[in-house]
A and B are shown apart, each in its own frame.
Chain A
Amino acid sequence: MSAGGVAVPGGAAARPSGRTLDQRVFATYRTELLKLSSQLAVRLLVLVCAVGPFAFTALLRVQSGTPADALFGAYVHSSGFAVCLVVMGFAGAWGFPLIAGLMAGDQFAAEDRHNTWKTILTRSCSLGEVFTGKLLAAATFAMGMLLVAMLSSLLAGLILVGGHGLVDLSGNLQSAGRSLLFTLVSWALCVLPLLAYVSLAALFSVASRNGIVGVVGPIVIALATTLIDLIGKGVWVHVLLIGSAFGGMYGLFTASPFLGPLLVTSLVSLAWIAVCIGAAWLILRRRDFLAGSSVRAPTWHAPLRVVALTTAVVAVLAVASNLGPVGITPQRLDAAIGATFNDASLLQQRLIGRIAPAGAKLDVQPFCNRRGAKSQGPGDWLCNVYVYLPQLKSVPFQRTNVEYDVSVRYDGCYKAQSPPTFIGGPTMPDDRGRSVVNPLFVVYGCFNVL
């Protein structure tokens, strides 16, 4: 060991000082990118995002069933865009919280676990710059994962299923171009709620100094959100939940697009991002960076405390979930399902070769009632759609009843399925004898709950 060649003060090899703030932040950002890209879990997740959609699509191809409970799920055998949107739906519920947890949940806690806060904070970067660099790196990786998952699922769908147009949430067949646009826009709109989960994971990581809490925390919150979404008829709590924005984009898929939920849930995501990052920074800047006794080895005590706390919060939110105006009412569901049934019926007629002019109106009267004790709110509904068919003889019309079991989500999106007595089975022959999805067997739709 020798000092030969070590730069002396003011020597020629002395490091240039006086870097600008953005240069220093960029330096911490690059180091965090390097650290994340070196981790096995991150590499595996990239692999899952890249290969998973292909595996999922291939699995769908070899079986006749469809994930019909998911929006567009009935069309996974007929449109590659449906595959991409079904993957997005699953990712919104579980995949994105997992990505956020793995990208940001261990970033801060790992410095405590490896006792490396002192290593990086004794270099030429401030705590604020490290904080910013970490968040930016986590956000970059999370968005990168989203991009990989989107491209992979889109390619898997187009290659393995095909680029046929998608039936939208009003029962209308869209062109391949519009379907692609809708699909890309939908994935892009997932960025904000994904970043909200990243911020939440970072907050868990900073506050708990425990990587398990940071990684698992967002998934637990996603689970809690899913549970709360099943109950309560009020709008406020549902709209304010961190994952609410994953459903905001579906208003774009209807014949009369509505932007209210999208705007509100996007603002909610921004608020979550601001609150989580602000809280994380306040906690981080107030702490001392001690070693030894202050290093908290990852244990399950903290996660269990988080689960207990989350359970308590879920209980409170469950009670509060009835607050605010009611988003899902029989009147709104009647109007939505009537219009969608109308358009889906016209599509069915066109598929079998009959002429059905655009904008034609059937005489349809839906009557929806919620199953169970409540008369409003998300859950299972029974809708009787009365169709009045004109007759040639003395009877002015014939009334036919189509009974739909409707599952309505908190965000106003629903899946309606009927026994094949009136509307036929899940598939039907089209005018050229090919088997196509019967648009009336499973009907998807969305209406504005705000």
Chain B
Amino acid sequence: MEAVTATGLVKRFESTTAVDGLDLTVQVGQVHGLLGANGAGKTTLLRLLFGLIAPNAGSITLLGRALGGPGSAALDHVAGFVEEPSFYPYLSGRTNLALLAKLDGDVPAGLIGEALERVGLTDRAGSRVGGYSTGMRQRLGIAAALLRTPRLLLLDEPTSGLDPTGARAVAALVRELSAQGVAVLLSSHQIGELEKVCDAYTVIREGRVVWDGTAAQLVAQAPASAYALHTSDDDRALQIAAGIRGVRAGRSPRGQLAVAVQPDGLDALVLALGDARVAVRRLELLVTPLESMFFALSGDENVDELAPYDLAERVFAGAGADS
């Protein structure tokens, strides 16, 4: 069963087409990653899914119910947030949650406290939200989403502003909810976080879907991944790599060796180095398949023609700027 079905979505803002004939399907129990560069249309898509803006064309079905306007009944059991979670700054975190619970028709007693505890905000629950840090507001947003006993979670950059521990906790929470049958659509610029939790991905560019598939399909179809390679004889390793199909090797400006390999090229390289009695002392993943795929789909350059370190640097630069 599909938790989200969007068909032929179009959204224009004056002369700009933010979403252009976009189709999206998220299965129940699936964690679905939404990727795209700045201005690709991710946030607009999430706003459309929440009914906060009306599409110029196309239709949206959430959990089997057609989405109407803002506050549609189709949003029952749909939770999450778009852009940063927003609350009333003059109220405490607990009061904000109580207020939202009232809008939902109240929640079982104690659930607000549980939600606050789950996101680690119990100690600050009585403080005004106006004094919260970005990360605390993010955690409060997740607590607010949990109050709705969601069957579909739409999360926009849920780890934004969180420290690494908090980000890992969010990833664990998402996996746990998914295991309980909750569908999650996750937009994030932290591709590494997505890779840990997502079962499927949709990459959008200029409002259109440019790639859509499962994690396994992505690994199979991804262009070269990049690795930092430390060997007992880097010069010899460079010579060997140059002779293997699907492997490109080079040195970074600081002289470190890096290789860009197709999905099946890494095994061949390591075996060839072993045959040549070149010891592999460390192999460090610089660019994951998802990152290279994202870079390939969202940029204009040909990933397969980039030197490994250039690929890594471009990917990191792109990922850092993305939101």
> A interface vs B, CB < 8 Å?
1-9, 11, 13-17, 19, 23-24, 27-28, 30-31, 34-35, 38-40, 114-130, 285, 288-292
Residues 83-101 of chain B, each 1 if its beta carbon lies under 8 Å from chain A, else 0: 1011111110001001110
Residues of A close to B91: CB separation below 8 A = 35, 38
- Which residue of B53, B76, B100, B151 contacts A119 across the interface (Cβ within 8 Å)? B100
* Listed residue (B81, B86, B108, B182) with the most chain A CB atoms within 10 angstroms of its CB: B86
Give bound CA distance, A127 to B71, whole Å: 6
- Which residue of A2, A30, A288 contacts B172 across the interface (Cβ within 8 Å)? A2
Question: Could you tell me if A289 and B177 are in contact, using CB atoms closer than 8 angstroms?
Answer: no
Question: Could you tell me if A6 and B149 are in contact, using CB atoms closer than 8 angstroms?
Answer: yes
Q: Which of B160-183 contact A (CB under 8 A)?
A: 166, 169-170, 172-173, 176-177, 180-182
Question: Could you tell me if B107 and A15 are in contact, using CB atoms closer than 8 angstroms?
Answer: yes
Is the interface on chain B under 10, 10 to 19, 20 to 34, or 35 or more residues?
35 or more
Question: Could you tell me if B170 and A1 are in contact, using CB atoms closer than 8 angstroms?
Answer: yes
Residues of B close to A11: CB separation below 8 A = 149
CB-CB nearest 6 A-B residue pairs: A1-B169, A3-B176, A126-B71, A7-B149, A123-B103, A8-B180
Known A119-B86, A122-B75: A31·B103 in contact at CB below 8 Å: yes
Q: Does B51 contact A (CB under 8 A)?
A: yes
Give bound CA distance, A27 to B102, whole Å: 6
Give bound CA distance, A349 to B191, whole Å: 95
Question: Could you tell me if A3 and B52 are in contact, using CB atoms closer than 8 angstroms?
Answer: no
Known A2-B169, A35-B99: A118·B82 in contact at CB below 8 Å: yes
In chain A, what residue has the closest Cβ to B63?
A: A9
Question: Could you tell me if A118 and B81 are in contact, using CB atoms closer than 8 angstroms?
Answer: yes
Residues of B close to A28: CB separation below 8 A = 103
A selection of 12 A-B contacts at a CB cut-off of 8 Å is A1-B139, A3-B177, A5-B114, A6-B149, A34-B98, A114-B88, A118-B52, A119-B100, A121-B51, A122-B75, A127-B69, A127-B70
Question: Could you tell me if B166 and A8 are in contact, using CB atoms closer than 8 angstroms?
Answer: no
Question: Could you tell me if B81 and A9 are in contact, using CB atoms closer than 8 angstroms?
Answer: no
Q: Does B32 contact A (CB under 8 A)?
A: no
Q: How near does chain A come to B8, taking the closest CB pair, in angstroms?
A: 19
Give bound CA distance, A117 to B142, whole Å: 17
Known A27-B103, A31-B99, A121-B70: A290·B47 in contact at CB below 8 Å: yes
Question: Could you tell me if A3 and B173 are in contact, using CB atoms closer than 8 angstroms?
Answer: yes
Q: How near does chain B come to A63, taking the closest CB pair, in angstroms?
A: 40
Give bound CA distance, A51 to B270, whole Å: 85
Question: Could you tell me if A13 and B108 are in contact, using CB atoms closer than 8 angstroms?
Answer: yes
Question: Could you tell me if A123 and B100 are in contact, using CB atoms closer than 8 angstroms?
Answer: yes
Question: Could you tell me if B105 and A23 are in contact, using CB atoms closer than 8 angstroms?
Answer: yes
Residues of B close to A117: CB separation below 8 A = 52, 70
Q: Does B186 contact A (CB under 8 A)?
A: no
Question: Could you tell me if A1 and B118 are in contact, using CB atoms closer than 8 angstroms?
Answer: yes
Q: Does B78 contact A (CB under 8 A)?
A: yes
- Which residue of B71, B90, B148, B172 contacts A15 across the interface (Cβ within 8 Å)? B148
Known A14-B149, A119-B85, A122-B80: A4·B95 in contact at CB below 8 Å: no
Give bound CA distance, A5 to B71, whole Å: 27
Question: Could you tell me if A39 and B90 are in contact, using CB atoms closer than 8 angstroms?
Answer: yes
Q: Does B50 contact A (CB under 8 A)?
A: yes
Q: How near does chain A come to B70, taking the closest CB pair, in angstroms?
A: 4
Give bound CA distance, A171 to B60, whole Å: 71
Known A1-B120, A13-B111, A125-B71: A30·B90 in contact at CB below 8 Å: no
Residues 25-67 of chain B, each 1 if its beta carbon lies under 8 Å from chain A, else 0: 0000000000000000000000100111110000000000000
Give bound CA distance, A306 to B129, whole Å: 32
- Which residue of B52, B118, B142 contacts A288 across the interface (Cβ within 8 Å)? B52
Residues of A close to B4: CB separation below 8 A = none
Residues 121-160 of chain B, each 1 if its beta carbon lies under 8 Å from chain A, else 0: 0000000000000000001001010101101000000000
Question: Could you tell me if B105 and A6 are in contact, using CB atoms closer than 8 angstroms?
Answer: no
Residues of A close to B72: CB separation below 8 A = 126
Question: Could you tell me if A6 and B146 are in contact, using CB atoms closer than 8 angstroms?
Answer: yes
Q: Known contacts A31-B99, A116-B87; can you find 4 more A-B pairs with CB under 8 A?
A: A40-B90, A114-B87, A122-B81, A125-B103
- Which residue of B53, B82, B90, B102 contacts A31 across the interface (Cβ within 8 Å)? B102
Question: Could you tell me if A122 and B78 are in contact, using CB atoms closer than 8 angstroms?
Answer: yes
Question: Could you tell me if B90 and A6 are in contact, using CB atoms closer than 8 angstroms?
Answer: no
Give bound CA distance, A2 to B171, whole Å: 9
Q: How near does chain B come to A339, taking the closest CB pair, in angstroms?
A: 56
Question: Could you tell me if A15 and B149 are in contact, using CB atoms closer than 8 angstroms?
Answer: yes
Give bound CA distance, A394 to B43, whole Å: 101
Question: Could you tell me if B148 and A123 are in contact, using CB atoms closer than 8 angstroms?
Answer: yes
Question: Could you tell me if B71 and A129 are in contact, using CB atoms closer than 8 angstroms?
Answer: yes
Q: How near does chain A come to B173, taking the closest CB pair, in angstroms?
A: 5
Question: Could you tell me if A4 and B118 are in contact, using CB atoms closer than 8 angstroms?
Answer: yes
Q: How near does chain B come to A102, taking the closest CB pair, in angstroms?
A: 15
Question: Could you tell me if B180 and A27 are in contact, using CB atoms closer than 8 angstroms?
Answer: no
Residues of A close to B105: CB separation below 8 A = 15-16, 19, 23-24, 27, 124
Q: Does B79 contact A (CB under 8 A)?
A: yes
Residues of A close to B75: CB separation below 8 A = 122-124
Give bound CA distance, A301 to B52, whole Å: 27
Q: Does B315 contact A (CB under 8 A)?
A: no
In chain B, what residue has the closest Cβ to A28?
A: B103
Q: Does B230 contact A (CB under 8 A)?
A: no
Residues of B close to A40: CB separation below 8 A = 90
Question: Could you tell me if B104 and A35 are in contact, using CB atoms closer than 8 angstroms?
Answer: no
Residues of B close to A292: CB separation below 8 A = 83
In chain B, what residue has the closest Cβ to A13?
A: B108
Known A3-B118, A38-B95: A118·B86 in contact at CB below 8 Å: yes
Q: How near does chain B come to A126, taking the closest CB pair, in angstroms?
A: 4
Give bound CA distance, A17 to B149, whole Å: 11
Q: How near does chain A come to B311, taking the closest CB pair, in angstroms?
A: 32
Q: How near does chain B come to A39, taking the closest CB pair, in angstroms?
A: 7
Residues of B close to A125: CB separation below 8 A = 71, 103
Give bound CA distance, A333 to B108, whole Å: 68
Residues of A close to B89: CB separation below 8 A = 114
* Listed residue (B70, B149, B181) with the most chain A CB atoms within 10 angstroms of its CB: B70
In chain A, what residue has the closest Cβ to B167?
A: A1
Q: How near does chain A come to B98, taking the closest CB pair, in angstroms?
A: 8
* Listed residue (A3, A11, A23) with the most chain B CB atoms within 10 angstroms of its CB: A3
- Which residue of A1, A5, A7, A118 contacts B50 across the interface (Cβ within 8 Å)? A118
Give bound CA distance, A5 to B177, whole Å: 10
Question: Could you tell me if B151 and A2 are in contact, using CB atoms closer than 8 angstroms?
Answer: no
Give bound CA distance, A24 to B108, whole Å: 17
